[in-house]
Structure 1
Amino acid sequence: MRNAIFALIPALMAAPAAAQSNTGITEFTLDNGMQILVREDHRAPVVVSQVWYRVGSSYETTGETGLSHLFEHMMFKGTERFEEGEFSEIISREGGRLNAFTGRDFSAYFEIMAADRLPIALELEADRMANLQINAEALSTERDVVLEERRLRTEDRPEGRFGERYSAIAHPGTGYAHPIIGWADDVAGFEVEDLRDWYQQWYTPTNATLVVAGDVQPDEVHSLAREYFGDIEAREVPAVHTPDNLQPPGERRLIHRDPQARVTQLRMGYEVPSFPTAESTRDPYALLMLATILDGGDGARLAEELVRGSGVAAAAGASYNPMVRLDAEFSLFGVPAEGDVDAVETALRDQIHRLQQEPVSAEEMERARSQMLADHLFEMDSVFYQAMQLGMLETTGSGWARLNSFEENVRDLTAEDIQSAAQRYLRPEMLAVGVMKPADQEDEG
């Protein structure tokens, strides 16, 4: 009955011993295979509850792109017990917030509540894990919503059109080559059975991680998780093919002329290791520091030398995210100050060559190290971000324990590590280059 949601928490059963880290993270596993991660943070009487499923757009094959994202919408359409909209009404009435997101490697659903309302969030999430209703009317509505979302965010925007084309050449042969929202023809063709099959394949306790962060006690969370999720049937998930890592595809180039583009834009991306694909545990941290040296604040090299120095670029940047399931991308971008995109590309290549040929100075290393640690500590001040980090690390195969070792790994980096990573990974045969130009712009020279 619905009133059971608001019942007092029953007397908690004694919990078995669990793995606990030195930073307030405790791990449990239910008998049905569901993983529980608890991060204690008692500064405020608030709790963040997130259920992560190991499935996202990179799990999709030809003809089913966008299925993960569309299914995220369907998770709000009601269960055998709660009608459409009732889930959100209950959370709102209890003073909480909820939402969901789909990535290339995961789908996640979250609630932010007063700490004593955690049982409500867990009971509702368990219900839709086990009893989701999928019907043709709901699918028709949400399919139209997703197609409109795709039109507004991608098809009607030059940056969106360019981004999809760039991804196709930057990630050949992997599930990262197609958009998370999917190709329109695939989304338009999904039927009820496609969604039901996806639910049966991936939405099982054996493929899920519950992350709870905030003003909670680990044993209490474990007991609640057993109460609400423990009786859900475990099912095996399909085997997932992982493409070979770091096979040099050769340098690839894209020139996209767009009638609505107003400025020329340049994107460059090197295929590099991620946390789970790196042979050396030091390499992802070295690549993170490389990105910080290039684009870690106003004093970083790209802003200092390409924007304010030579003035060749109106804007320039670099980024790297190691928390992905497959190989990652070390990304560079630039906007020419006067339309000369070749000059910006040359300047960015020169920056990479310099990192390969010259060790970074001790002063620059310390500035980048301080920036990375400060950013990390600032982000960890957020309970929601703490939960996000745990869920993302675990669902991508990186392992949640990396959260404990981030500071140590950053402090241990040397100039030799940085130079070695630049030499081994930022190579032309691992590079994709994309240029978006206004359709009426003439080529230089």
Structure 2
Amino acid sequence: MTMRNALFALIPALMATPVAAQSGAGVTEFTLDNGMQILVREDHRAPVVVSQVWYRVGSSYETRGETGLSHLFEHMMFKGTERHAEGEFSEIISREGGRLNAFTGRDFSAYFEIMAADRLPVALELEADRMANLQINAEALSTEREVVLEERRLRTDDRPEGRFAERYAAIAHPGTGYAHPIIGWADDVAAFEVADLRDWYDQWYTPTNATLVVAGDVEAEAVHSMAQEYFGGIEGREVPAVHDPDNLQPPGERRVIHRDPQARVTQLRMGYEVPSFATAESGLDPYALQMLATILDGGDGARLAEDLVRGSGVAAAAGAGYNPMVRLDGEFSLFGVPADGDVDAVEAALREQIRRLQETLVSDETLERARSQMLADHLFEMDSVFYQAMQLGMLETTGAGWQTLNDFEENVRALTAEDLRAAAREYLRPEMLSVGIMQPADQEETG
């Protein structure tokens, strides 16, 4: 993640003729003539605005030889334009009392500002400038390439958990862009030249591949007018076709054992390939998988803590998770740390928890506890203006569609115990499973 603090002078918003818009649950959608999508969520509780520009490109769009290019390019987006020198962007934002940041994921690259609501035009002017006029030169590339390589060394190469995570991803996501790290392989990053970054910019950084999300104390029509003023004159370009593998093709159970001389404790990671919001054939399946994860790991009363940690004591720690907001298939993940080094016992216990979900309907009490927790967590998160914008941008960029946000409560309330068991039986199958074990190098081999 690239962190920059910043602020700037107010630029008056010029008004443009409004066009037809779609609205729902407080969200208004516009599309500019150049193909850029605008999403506005009005929230007038405080005079604050969040502005985010999402590009549909991330590490899953990369092939071997390109890995890490999306992340490195995020760094380059702060190196200045013809109008604003390097560092000026951040100085302007800081001067105005705002802050900014950027992040790259597997499916997106995003840039945001948090400002006083009346400073929104400043953020939009700067984002439009670097969308159209970014300067890319050899000196800046050399500097940022070394920054990224050092970041990789610190976070991955020098950490046993980082080395293990890369080895696990390679077997958990075979044949997809999720198999390589967001930061990229070091040899790819070291070989990038100016021409590579300019091609990436030309291919992906275009209005037709971008979504502007604005949330906060704003009026939708005023935001549309500002977006038209600052982004409307940028020419839209077609983006390259993306060829992804077929979804949910069972590759068979895979295992990797990583013996690391710096590892202090044994760790177990298990993951089932499951559908996401974007790939699910049944609209309820992602919600059922979320609820299954909540039943297993939704607080101290959840099954993994109750049965594996406090109950049998086989695990010192255990957990589960599932994120449906990805472009390709997702992962229903489990992890465990053996209490006494017996990783086989932890794996057997986690498999037994999955078998239990497949064979026995959850009780009404368990179902309602998980339902209440999911709804409460969602409502709490939606209290944040920044989180509202994040949800809209992530859903839209990963192909689920921002309207999915409107359906959350209804779908969670509709889930039955039969839905949960059916999802567990359909997706949590051995042929969809990856198992990763990290052990200290001097520990007796398992498996």
**1:49, 1:121 within 8 Å by CA — same for their partners in 2?**
yes
User: Residue in 1 aligned with 2:173?
Assistant: 171
CA distance in 2, matches of 1:336, 1:241: 40
- 1:255 CA drift (Å): 0.4
Structure 1 unpaired stretches of 5+: none
Q: After superposition, where does 1:21-36 map in structure 2 within 5 Å? A: 21=24, 23-36=25-38
String of CA shifts for 1:293-333, please: whole Å, max 9, x gaps: 00000000000000000000000000000000000000000
- 1:5 CA drift (Å): 5.7
- 1:444 CA drift (Å): 5.8
User: Residue in 2 aligned with 1:8?
Assistant: 12
CA distance 1:443–1:7, change in 2 (3 Å): closer
CA distance in 2, matches of 1:260, 1:142: 29
String of CA shifts for 1:211-241, please: whole Å, max 9, x gaps: 0000000000000000000000110000001
SS across alignment from 2:319: strand
CA distance 1:258–1:224, change in 2 (3 Å): same
User: Residue in 1 aligned with 2:266?
Assistant: 264
**1:5, 1:119 within 8 Å by CA — same for their partners in 2?**
no
Q: After superposition, where does 1:165-314 map in structure 2 within 5 Å? A: 165-314=167-316
CA distance in 2, matches of 1:296, 1:333: 14
Paired AA for residue 331 in structure 2 = E
- 1:156 CA drift (Å): 0.5
User: Residue in 2 aligned with 1:442?
Assistant: 444
CA distance in 2, matches of 1:404, 1:435: 39
Structure 2 unpaired stretches of 5+: 1-7
User: Residue in 1 aligned with 2:53?
Assistant: 51
Say if 2:410 is the partner of 1:408.
yes
User: Residue in 1 aligned with 2:398?
Assistant: 396
Tell me whether 352-361 or 435-444 shows the greater mean CA deviation. 435-444
Paired AA for residue 20 in structure 1 = S
Equivalent of 1:156 in 158, 167, 172: 158
- 1:252 CA drift (Å): 0.3
- 1:14 CA drift (Å): 4.2
SS across alignment from 1:87: helix
User: Residue in 2 aligned with 1:19?
Assistant: 22
Paired AA for residue 21 in structure 2 = A
SS across alignment from 2:273: strand
TM normalised by structure 2 equals: 0.97
Paired AA for residue 242 in structure 1 = D
User: Residue in 1 aligned with 2:104?
Assistant: 102
CA distance in 2, matches of 1:13, 1:31: 12
CA distance in 2, matches of 1:172, 1:317: 24
**1:47, 1:118 within 8 Å by CA — same for their partners in 2?**
yes
User: Residue in 1 aligned with 2:5?
Assistant: none
Give % identity: 84
User: Residue in 1 aligned with 2:130?
Assistant: 128
What is the number of equivalent residue pairs in this alignment?
Answer: 440
TM normalised by structure 1 equals: 0.98
- 1:60 CA drift (Å): 0.2
The alignment yields a C-alpha RMSD, in angstroms, of 1.0
CA distance in 2, matches of 1:33, 1:374: 36
SS across alignment from 2:28: strand
String of CA shifts for 1:329-379, please: whole Å, max 9, x gaps: 000000000000000000000000000000011000000000000100010
